[in-house]
A = this chain, B = another copy of it.
Amino acid sequence: MTADNQQERLNPHWITGFIDGEGCFMIQINKNHKMKTGYQILPEFRLVQHIRDRKLLEKIAKYFGFGVVRKNSSRVKTTLEWRVRGRRDLKNLCDHLTKYPLRTKKLLDFLKFRTVLKMMDNCPDITKIRNIKSTMNKGSQI
């Protein structure tokens, strides 16, 4: 067994475990007069790793068939991220995490994230989305 023995297909449970550890679900809300609601909603998923694991991030991107591996926007220059933004891609990621559920309380953030994605299928209520967003990634118990 070597460190580069990564030819074997990734196991879906492994992926969920890794996301339980390292994944992050985010919602950005930006003012945008071109949008009907006056706001642009940007849901995003990120999985950040040290640059030494670039190949693994690329393997995850290949497994799903979407998302980009890119430099992380933080000041730390030694990190990369697998980033997923497209709504169809995010829904596919949600399908994976519905089939292979998260086990940490990150599950709560995921459920909120999935709710927002569904709300975006219709003309979304910005206030409701803002409220949901305000409770995400806070380490809340409920």
Contact = CB atoms under 8 A, between A and B. Distances in A.
Interface of A: 1, 3, 5-6, 10-22, 49-50, 52-53, 56, 59, 78, 98, 100-101, 103-105, 107-108, 111, 139-142
A1 B142 CA distance: 13
Given A17-B21, A18-B17, A21-B20, A105 B11 contact: no
Contact of A101 (B5, B12, B22): B5
Contact of A107 (B3, B16, B49, B104): B3
Nearest to A57: B104
A3 B142 CA distance: 8
A53 B105 contact: yes
